Structure 1
Amino acid sequence: MSTPAGRDHPRTSLYTDHYELTMLQAALHSGAAQRKCVFEAFARRLPDGRRYGIVGGTGRLLEGIVDFRFGPAELDFLRRTGIVNEETLEYLSTYRFSGDVWGYAEGEAYFPYSPILIVEATFAEACILETYVLSVLNHDSAIASAASRMVTAAGNRPCIEMGSRRTQEESAAAAARAAVVAGFASTSNLEAGLRYGIKTVGTAAHSFTLLHDTERQAFEAQIASLGPGTSLLVDTYDVEAGVRTAVELAGPSLGAVRLDSGDLIAQAQWVRQLLDDLGNHNTKIVVTSDLDEYAIAALQSAPVDSYGVGTSLVTGSGAPTASMVYKLVSRTDDDGNFVSVAKAAKNKASRGGRKYALRRLNEQGIASQEILGIGHHPEDDGNDRMLLQQFIKNGELLPGWTGPEGVIRARQRHIDSMAELPAVVNRLQRGEPAIPTVYEED
């Protein structure tokens, strides 16, 4: 969780599951807790019919790992409830992650089995991060993936994130951040603006109009306070009357009118004509009302200038989780040598061994394969791109991945990554992953 200095906020260490700490206790007892390990976070599959995913939440996650501590309050809770024994409490009292973290840059596209995050540390240090890692990556990547599809459908028309009232308050700020990473222009969420330097926007809801005796009085008050460049919500009563009143009061400087109900395609067309007839050629039309990527695509032919998206965005547009898992893929044996390990269940199979990822590009610079080398770096044939970046080294957070700077960097990574993928990613129809994932054995 990213929070400005000096503000009270909960530690991230108890954003975890009970069994993470009981595993730690048992590993301390067996003596295996200090074995060096490699854990990887990945998704075995994309949401049904999706052609790609977008990594979201990495910057938030890295800040949380650095802040993963057990202070007096956390230790007292664990002691009072008998969750772990005194030996484990003693270990946790000095816990500080000191390993290495690698992964796909935030904003990067990913595919089935892409090693989105790699944690190299002792079992004790890496194991107890599992729940927190998955909580952040699953939520934010689901939002970023949905947002990317919406931005693609919108073309060069900006999207506004406005889903705070449709999700939990901390999730709202995280969702706003993930949406902006994937190309949204702004958010209505002020906490996201404070934490991440994101542009915030908003004017008034229907309740403001209903507060006043007439729509005219409401518009007069809003214009007097916020200026003629404000956006006026014109569908509380009669849309045509609302537009005419808005133009009469604000004149040609009226910034925008917002439509929030009805047949948005037909309504936008005749509202645009009405605005032009009244001389307001520069007044924009903003549409809201339960939009998703399909509704946005349907509005491509309508004279709409921007889209406000809420519920569908913060719920991942039907895929509220990225379904990522966090698996131990390699560990040292009693002699200190790394050995590959993997779960063998047929329906949840994964490959053991530390992965190295490369995106194979064709002669035109378009991605053709996701190459995963097991235990080695895949060979670059001259124009390919290595995907793994180091985020934390020996417990120290490397610069550039977090805070407002991290959001800007991730947003650019999303733009560059999407430009590199085959054109099929622009289709909203159900289909297979845009490029195949191919393993290269050591």
Structure 2
Amino acid sequence: MYELTMLQAALADGTADRRCAFEVFTRRLPNERRYGVVAGTARVIDAVKNFRFTAEQLDGLPFLDGRTRTYLENYRFSGQIDGYREGELYFPNSPILTVRGTFAECVVLETVILSILNFDSAVASAAARMVTAAEGRPIIEMGSRRTHEDAAVSAARAAYLAGFVSTSNLEAAARYGVPVGGTSAHAWTLLHTDADGRPDEKAAFKAQIESQGVGTTLLVDTYDIRQGVANAVEVAGTGLGGVRIDSGDLGVLARQVRDQLDALGAYDTKICVSSDLDEFAIASLRSEPVDTYGAGTSVVTGSGAPTAGLVYKLVEVDGTHVHKRSRGKASHGGAKQALRACRSTGTAVEEVAWSIDEDAPDLGGVLNTVQLTVPLIRDGEPVDDLASLDESRDHLAAQLVSLPWEGLALSRDEPALSVRFIGL
């Protein structure tokens, strides 16, 4: 609403066509995190390209005058967008996205840009921490039942970007090509009873194996977990693909189940654990015989931080830098670009930001530099060489390795890197 009230006033007082730059950044990282992950960039680009107002929508906005309605009927973004590529790391004050154009065409994009970047980046940041905590063991995203139906699809994409190996959400597979994975729920086991109405766990396991093959993963904790493991191996044999534990003290149970599987000769049967796992729970299980994790609630809710805290602020008007000075909400003026300075070993040292219209600053030649800001939209059209989801996934994996070792800590008071402004 406030975007359109500003637009209407700007059209009336002649400021609508002033050349402006808006910047997406965060002032702080949530939940004691030391870095954030940029996610949703490809979705933002698509949303901006297709941002339109229909006649039906405009009919529902009676406060608009005729001039504003006509502007919105013909709205097409024709400006420039530069920013960090998807899968890049960011820190407080990193110039994640810069939108340049007229005030009118830029101001109406605030909510659509922030709603995508805030949610996707929160999920990807949480998921990346879980991937780091898992130390190479795969994680499946299974959080669709814990969030909005559309957000579930975006969350699955963001989690895959961060390094999860698959999702249970089939729409994410259809829309974005995310690999899928899944087994069964407790309802499947509870469904199966004998003629007297007593639980028949073996029948459930047998039917699943006949349908999915012996390589499937059986959920063994519906009743007594020890008996469940025994029933699973009895029905499937020692070639059973895996068992899943979804309750109880997962560390203790994983050790007991591993011992039992080995005693039964099922040495190659994998153990998957789930049950409200976050990065701290995953880290606590690193020394246990767990092969795969299933994460749901914590990843789709950003592990307790459902927003990345990103803001969209005006930083330049007709070439003049503008600075917000509100207490606790200050901003650095000027449209910016950024690079990351690294040692010869590849370890990142700091980020440096400077004017988007100037050449890169001379850092003395001691450090290697990596350009962070890249063109995303030119004259309203996406650039031709945007990275694919899998390329962005690989990029993030490489960037996480570049952080100082302490930068991957799950709880610290300060970000892993700081942003230094030059000439701004």
Q: TM exceeds 0.5?
A: yes
Deviation of the 1:270 alpha carbon? 1.2
The secondary structure found in structure 2 opposite 1:384 is strand
Unaligned 5+ segments in structure 2 are 194-199
| Counterpart check, 1:147 vs 2:127 | yes
CA deviation vs aligned residue, 1:408-438 (integer Å, no higher than 9, x gap)? 1210110111121111122213231111211
Looking at structure 2, the residues matched to 439 and 339 of structure 1 have their Cα atoms a distance apart, in angstroms, of 17
- Structure 1 residue aligned with 2:252, among 266, 272, 280? 266
Amino acid at match of 2:136: N
How far apart are residue 197 of structure 1 and its match?
A: 0.2
Separation of aligned partners in 1, 2:147 and 2:31:
23
Any conservation in 2 of the 1:357–1:378 contact (CA below 8 Å)? no
Aligned to 1:134: 114
Residue number in structure 2 paired with 1:7: none
Q: Match for 1:391: what amino acid?
A: L
CA distance in 1, matches of 2:391, 2:16: 36
Amino acid at match of 1:418: L
CA-to-aligned-CA distance 1:66-120 (integer Å, 9 cap, x gap): 1101122222222xxx131111110111111111111001111100000111101
Structure 1 counterpart of 2:266: 280
- Distance in 2 separating the partners of 1:234 and 1:129: 49
Task: List 4+ stretches of structure 1 deviating above 4 A.
Answer: none
Which amino acid in structure 2 is aligned with residue 390 of structure 1?
A: P
Structure 1 equivalent of residue 151 of structure 2: 171
Partners of 1:164 and 1:189 within 8 A in 2: yes
State the alpha-carbon separation in 2 of the partners of residues 368 and 351 from structure 1: 21
| Aligned residues of 2:34 and 2:408 also touching (Cα < 8 A) | no
Question: Are the counterparts in 1 of residues 131 and 163 from structure 2 also a CA contact under 8 Å?
Answer: yes
Q: Give, in angstroms, the shift of residue 252 of structure 1.
A: 2.2
Identify the residue that residue 66 of structure 1 maps to in structure 2.
49
The correspondence for 1:34, drawn from 8, 13, 17, is 17
Deviations 1:200-234 (A, max 9, x none): 11111001111110111111111111111111000
Q: Distance in 2 between matches of 1:379 and 1:282?
A: 55
Query: 2:197 maps to which residue?
Result: none
Corresponding residue pairs, total? 414
**In the alignment, is the contact (CA less than 8 A) between 2:239 and 2:269 conserved in 1?**
yes
SS in 2 for 1:257: strand
Question: Match for 1:323: what amino acid?
Answer: G
Q: What SS is found at the alignment partner of 1:68?
A: coil
Quote the residue 1:88 is aligned against: 68
Q: Map Cα deviations across residues 138-193 of structure 1 (whole Å, 9 max, x no partner).
A: 11111111001000000110011111100001111111111111111111111111
- Distance in 2 (alpha carbons) for counterparts of 1:216 and 1:417: 47
- One-letter identity of the residue aligned with 2:138: P
Identity %: 54
Name which of 362, 381, 405 aligns with 1:396.
381
Paired residue for 1:208? 188
**CA deviation profile, 1:40-82 (whole Å, cap 9, x unmatched):** 000011114211111111111111111101122222222xxx1
Aligned pairs for 1:111-122 within 5 A = 111-122=91-102
- The residue type paired with residue 73 of structure 1 is E
Matches of 1:314 and 1:57 in 2, distance apart? 14
Query: What stretches of structure 1 of length at least 5 have no aligned partner?
Result: 1-17, 333-337
AA aligned to 2:248 is G
Q: Counterpart of 1:316 in 2: which secondary structure?
A: coil
Aligned to 1:19: 2
- 1:350 offset after TM fit, Å? 0.8
- 1:355 aligns to what? 336
Please give the secondary structure, in 2, of the residue aligned with 1:203: coil
Paired residue secondary structure (2:87): coil
Instruction: Find the partner of 1:77 among 53, 56, 60.
Output: 60
Spell out, residue by residue over 1:109-135, the C-alpha distance to the aligned partner (whole angstroms, 9 max, x if none). 100000111101111111000011111
Check whether the contact 1:230–1:256 (CA below 8 A) recurs between aligned residues: yes
Give the 3-state SS of the residue equivalent to 1:137 in structure 2.
helix
Q: In the alignment, which of 300, 304, 314 is matched to residue 328 of structure 1? A: 314
Report the secondary structure of 2:290's partner residue.
coil
Distance, in Å, in 2 between the alignment partners of 1:72 and 1:436 is: 46
Aligned to 1:317, what secondary structure does the other structure show?
coil
Deviations 1:271-306 (A, max 9, x none): 111111111111100000010001000000110001
What residue number does 1:251 align with? Answer: 237
- Alpha-carbon separation, structure 1, partners of 2:311 and 2:409: 27
* Contact 2:271 2:289 (8 Å CA) reproduced: yes
Q: Which moved more, 1:423-432 or 1:113-122?
A: 423-432
Please, what is the CA RMSD of the aligned residues? Answer: 1.3
Question: How many Å separate the matches in 2 of 1:378 and 1:135?
Answer: 33
CA contact (8 A) 1:372 1:378 kept: no
In the alignment, which of 275, 282, 289 is matched to residue 296 of structure 1?
A: 282
Q: What does residue 307 of structure 1 align with?
A: 293
What is the CA–CA distance in structure 2 between the aligned matches of 1:396 and 1:59, rounded to whole Å? 13
